[in-house]
Structure 1
Amino acid sequence: MPEPRRPRIYLDWNATTPLRPEARAAMAAAWDVIGNPSSVHTEGRAARALVEGARAAVARSLGAEPRGVIFTSGGTEANVLALAPGLRGPAAPPVARLLVSAVEHASVLAGGRFRPEDITRVAVTPDGVVDLDDLRRRLADGPPALVSVLHANNETGAIQPITEIAELVRAAGGLLHVDAIQALGRIACRLPELGADLVSVSAHKVGGPKGVGALVLRDGLVPAEPLIRGGGQEQNRRGGTENVPGIAAFGAAVDAAMAGREHEAGRQGRLRGAMEAGLMEHPGTVVFSSHVQRLPNTTLVSAPGLRAETTVIAFDLEGIAVSSGSACSSGKVAPSHVLAAMQVPADLAQGAIRLSMGWDTTESGIARLLEAWRKITGVLGRGVIRTAPGTVLKKG
């Protein structure tokens, strides 16, 4: 008799997370609330209560005021909403240019609503951390700027020195936007401690549904003109009827993530340490950004002779979901702009794969990953892998 199929191992949590039970329950309950949250009757007020409860949860997780939370369709929209000239508020400078680090998410590198000629990239160190000297020079070379930096990189997991960056930006009279989409629920990221003016977050990175996010502003700051015009929703900052079930689920997911954050950070950090020790047994293996603080769940790894696309397929055939460190929206593998900015040699960059854990990652799952890694690195190093009887994928 054939051996029973082993359960699959999911190690792509930085791409998206499973829906938490708490979020699923909140979403299901919200489906039965029929009112429009802008209506003043009983049904409308019930829907409004769900939205405002979630707004309070998101604000609480970031140490912000609920009135500063603007719900969006996801992290990309939150980033684009943030990145615009014309931010207003008490003592808010009239920022006319944008500085972004060279390792930002594509939605930030695109520059939002700034003109291309008003966007400047800031260099990073070989560990993927913002070069503070380069940032200082660029802040001094022009009028007040909006600076946008990832709190934690989605590929390497490297955590940026946000408080130091905030001090430089503040001294130069600018504003700071932090993309905390990977950080929320994994590490501490509160606006007051970070010194951030705007923060972007996304539901599906913390166990909520896809298609919901938020831009969170420090008290008193008002974004530029809305991206979506229409009714007066979200305090006239984002038109369109709110996605009540998705928003309610976002709030529940955030609360659950925050409640277990410290425990999971410790547990996943220990698993990662054991995993990386096993990965490094293969000669020439490199773990990127290993000399700086990283998200406890994230490893970006490569070894000489590997090609990311082939390696990801090989892991999938072993029942393990991982991703390329350079996957683009088409699902194909493109050169990683993050590793290019870190000046990683092309032969190593082309083999980079990302392993990211979550709350259901176990020791046995990591043991299976290492078993597959030894098999894959051995077979791919010889140039071929067999995917099924009579089928061969050649390396490269």
Structure 2
Amino acid sequence: MIQLQENNSKVKGALAFEEVLDSIGSRGKFQMRLNVVFVFFASCFNLMSVYMFYIAMQTPDHWCHVPGREHTNLSLEEWKNFTIPREGAAFSKCLMYNQSDVRDFSNRREPVKCQHSWEYDNTWFSLTVTSQMNWVCDNQQTVNTILFYSQNIGVALGLLFGYVGDMYGRRPQQLLCLSAHVVSRLLVMLAPHVLPLFILAESLVSGAAGPMEESLLAVGLELTDIKHRSVINRYASCSMALGMMLAGLVSWALPNWNYFMSFAAISCFTLFFFFRWFPQSPRWLACRGREQEALAVLRDIATTNGSTVPAFALQVIQTVGNSKADRTGFLSIFSSWNVFKNTVILIIASIFCIKMIVKCSAIKFLSNPAKPFNLDDVIFFL
């Protein structure tokens, strides 16, 4: 009976909070600008920034640079026929003929490793991180190393960002995640020569992307009436899909990786100008015993929507605070075997999913750009 009474108290508190939202406006100007700027655009920029890095790490088709073509009237294809050995139907990516006199093609020697750097196919990208740093052939493992360590470090940072949201609220969490995007995108452009710093910079976004999306959606849903929360979820899903498509569109329009990563940094930075519209969660404030701050957030919403806070709002906030359940932050992962097991499974699945998407997109689309895009490619990619 005692447990039943506690559950009824929680349900009444939840219903009463919805009544407060209805009184101050649950679909007014405040919610409109919050959902448009953050749930839609911030979610879009979040995913766009994530996938732009994967595009920047793609390895375009490449072959050994053999000097001397400028002294001939040969086309690129003809020059490669004379200077680059074939591996099956394709030209070798890492070997060239050891030709002492490039003007005498009658006496070819044994294939050797590239002696004068590489040339890259710029059909899709004029410059990627891989082509800038020549992470190919003997150094091709560097790309896998960066993706491996950045994803695993990102898992630990993701727990940290989530802990910040639990302990300090959604607003500080959102500010921290947004700052991580801007700082990361600036660092990756400045530090490709410093591999540990480059990995750490990408790890910031790997860790911040999930908590950023979660905090955006949590606040957007909390301050919207129950009937329209599915609409907010739909907006968030569409914006994430748009962000992934926008990553490809912008990188196609700005084929230099420094340019489209700068675009990602600027896009995320513009959100700081609207950050005053992102509120702290009133429910979280109530659960933390910060009743006056929660009431201040409700007053701000009411003022923006042209309404007033009802007289029973403070009582509702106190009810929500009294009915809260104890939480232990990220340590709650170890509260039971099932929670810990499911968390580990999700982490492993996420890492493998990202690796498979990166490798499939690289193999299927970029290694053979001449192949037309069709439905089979879409099914393969999915």
Return the TM-score normalized by structure 1.
Answer: 0.23
Answer 1 or 2: which has greater helix percent. Answer: 2
Answer 1 or 2: which has greater strand percent. Answer: 1
Return the TM-score normalized by structure 2.
Answer: 0.24
